[in-house]
Amino acid sequence: MSSREVVVLSVGGVRFVTRASTLQQFPESRLARMVNDDDQEFKLVNGEFFVDRDGALFAYIMDFLRTLQVSLPTDFSDYQRLQREAEFYGLYPLADLLSQEHLLKPRLEILEVRFSLQEMQAFFRIFGSCSTTIEALAEQITVFTGQQSGQGWNSPFPSQKPLTPLPLDRPSHHDVVFLCGTEYSAGDQFVARYVSIKPDNRKLINGTNVLGLLFDTLLKDGFRLISARTVASEEKVECYTFERMKRAAGLAIMVNQTPGSSGVAQARRSQVRKGK
């Protein structure tokens, strides 16, 4: 069997097809011994290994063996059962990680948008509990500025004069601050600031429009609005609070294959991107 490249398993009635080398990632595991005919509990039935265990949970075992990462759905709750399955198969590095389920559980992420409308300008402050989310938003948001003649708040389009991108104000890793609108400069000249939020390519000067586009961006990214309140009525500061369940950073297993070693594993954190 050790020379066979493709292995078929029937786990609790669920059929899995994989490479022998995938099952041999951890040489001391029962799955590796099964491929090498060293574990008699796993019986060959019509060319398939029959395993009387939970087939649904084995799908996560297979994903781990293929990627050496633990990345579970946000609604996953069977940590103890999956840990028990990992122990049965002799995958103790995986079992150890699952015993620390607080590292794998999704976390509630809070994001706050403060919006203040003053004369012809709108001020925005975005605060987030997750700095990586704020960093991603900062990369999406661009403020453009330029001198405009006789153009005010309600001008729908910028003039043909070139606009210059401005860096966003970042008071901390958890904050981003910017403004849009117009202010008087000299004579009939205005300093105008337009905001663009990727992937939308419009340059908006009206603060209410920018707020609407920001809301759309957050909602599409999985956030939901949970509260809206006025925090400073004399300054017309409105506060909008959003939340979402954020998938925990993935945990990866580094396997060091050295002479005389049969799969020494070490865990490390790694960022797992969400497919979109």
Q: What is the mean pLDDT of residues 89-95?
A: 93
Cα atoms in the 13 Å half-sphere on the side-chain side of 99: 10
Separation between Cα atoms, residue 58 and residue 78, nearest integer Å: 12
Q: What per-residue confidence (pLDDT) applies to 249?
A: 57
Return the CATH number at 53.
Answer: 3.30.710.10
Tally of CB atoms within 10 A around 148: 21
Last residue of a domain, one of 59, 79, 105: 105
Please tell me whether residues 37 and 63 are part of one structural domain.
yes
- Same domain, yes or no: 88 and 124: no
Looking at the DSSP assignment, which residues form a beta bridge with residue 18? 7
Mean pLDDT across 23-48: 88
C-alpha distances out from residue 129 to 69, 135, 172, Å: 25, 12, 12
Both 125 and 240 in one domain: the answer is: yes
Mean pLDDT, rounded, for 54-73? 91
Q: Is 195 exposed, middle or buried (0-12, 13-18, 19+ CB in 10 A)?
A: buried
More confident residue, 103 or 178: 178
Q: Mean of the pLDDT values across residues 79-88?
A: 94
The single residue listed with the structure tokens 């669920």 is 14
The three-point CA angle 170-172-174 to 5° equals: 100
Considering the domain architecture, whether residues 99 and 123 belong to the same structural domain is answered as no
The secondary element (H helix, E strand) that includes residue 59 is helix 55-67
Decide if 123 is inside a domain.
Answer: yes
Q: What is the pLDDT of residues 120-163, one digit of tens each?
A: 899 999 999 989 899 999 999 999 998 766 544 455 444 556 88
pLDDT band at 272 (very low <50, low <70, confident <90, very high): very low
Does residue 269 sit within a domain?
A: no
Residue 142: per-residue pLDDT:
95
Tell me, yes or no, whether 21 and 58 share the same domain.
yes
Q: Which of 19, 14, 36 is nearest to 90 (CA)?
A: 36
In a domain, 267, yes or no: no
**One domain for residues 58 and 183:** no
Domain residues for 148?
108-245
pLDDT of residue 31 exceeding 60, the answer is yes
More confident residue, 236 or 258: 236
Structure tokens at 47: 């060319």
Task: Check whether residue 51 and residue 112 sit in a common domain.
Answer: no
Q: Are residues 19 and 137 in the same domain?
A: no
Q: What is the number of other CB atoms lying within 10 angstroms of the CB of residue 166?
A: 13
116, 234 Cβ separation under 8 angstroms: no
Q: Which long-range contacts (CB under 8 A, 24 or more apart) does 6-9 make?
A: 7/35, 7/49, 8/47, 8/48, 8/49, 9/48, 9/49, 9/51, 9/58
* pLDDT value of residue 231: 84
Q: Is residue 185 part of a domain?
A: yes
Which of 82, 105, 128 is the last residue before a domain boundary? 105
pLDDT at 71: 81
**What is the tens place of the pLDDT at every residue in 208-257?**
999 999 999 999 999 999 999 988 767 689 999 999 987 665 566 655 44
Q: Does 131 map to a domain?
A: yes
User: Encoding tokens for residue 193?
Assistant: 């600031």
In a domain, 266, yes or no: no
Which of 105, 137, 165 terminates a domain? The answer is 105
Co-location of 87 and 43 in the same domain: yes
Q: For residues 174 and 121, is the Cβ–Cβ distance under 8 A?
A: no
CA nearest 195: which of 159, 168, 230, 231? 168
Token duo for residue 245: 């369940």
pLDDT tops 50 at residue 275: no
What pLDDT score does 185 carry?
65
Residue 260 in domain = no
Q: 21 and 80 share a domain? A: yes
Q: pTM score, two decimals? A: 0.60
Residue with structure tokens 């992420």?
109
Same domain, 98 and 125: no
Number of independent structural domains in the chain: 2
- Binned at pLDDT 50, 70 and 90, residue 200 comes out as very high
Percentage of the chain modeled with pLDDT above 70: 79
Do the strands 48-51 and 6-11 form a parallel or antiparallel pair, or are they unpaired?
parallel
Q: Are residues 13 and 95 in the same domain?
A: yes
Instruction: Kindly state whether residue 270 falls inside one of the protein's structural domains.
Output: no
